[in-house]
A = this chain, B = another copy of it.
């Protein structure tokens, strides 16, 4: 039988694992994915040998690092949209929050961007949630789209490229750009023009309060 309560030993193990994952995310965000294992362990301030206590290859660590980033972001979105009902609003809200995240959590954002399009097919993170929201919007009659998967493709690709844009043009107003694109997407999904505009400008909560702890 497994002991449920995490002991101090468990916490220590989890700490070094987290340190390795965090270091890996730093490297991914910088696009340096072919670093030596020794570099990773040094960045994590962990002994070289510890690496193989947690991962059997560099690839495995990087996969875990991406998965961790996706799960964090997904969990944050779930938390923030918990008590919303209108699917169109949930979608818009998630998209607007994600757009605002690129500047506020640059490392997380860059991990997503550098990981590339494969995250669109991942079971973790944003992709399944966006799919779910689009499906819900269709069922509720809020969205009118020919093919849900195509709608998802547009939303996912746009979200990623928007993140790239916000990093490339640091002077651009991220909130304004994100809301504008959200409005465009809602219209593409069949939401009436005026309503799309309205939904995409609704006030958002104080992000500094709601996203207090995230990676880096």
Interface, chain A (partner B; CB < 8 A): 33-34, 113-114, 116-118, 120-121, 146-147, 149-150, 153-154, 156-165, 168-169, 177, 180-181, 184, 187-188
Contacts and interface: CB of A to CB of B under 8 A. Distances in A.
A111 to B, nearest CB: 13
A161 B153 contact: yes
Q: Which one of A147, A153, A159 has the greatest number of beta carbons of chain B within 10 Å?
A: A153
Given A116-B116, A150-B184, A184-B188, 14 more contacts: A147-B177, A150-B177, A150-B180, A153-B181, A154-B154, A154-B158, A154-B181, A154-B184, A156-B157, A157-B158, A157-B159, A160-B161, A187-B188, A188-B188
A196 to B, nearest CB: 11
Contacts of A147: 177, 180
B120 A117 contact: no
Tell me whether chain A's interface is mostly helix, strand or loop, or mixed: helix
Contact of A153 (B117, B120, B162): B162
29 contacts: A34-B34, A113-B117, A114-B116, A116-B116, A116-B117, A117-B161, A118-B164, A121-B164, A147-B177, A147-B180, A149-B165, A149-B169, A150-B165, A150-B177, A150-B180, A150-B184, A153-B158, A153-B165, A153-B181, A154-B154, A156-B157, A156-B161, A157-B157, A157-B158, A157-B159, A157-B162, A158-B158, A160-B161, A187-B187
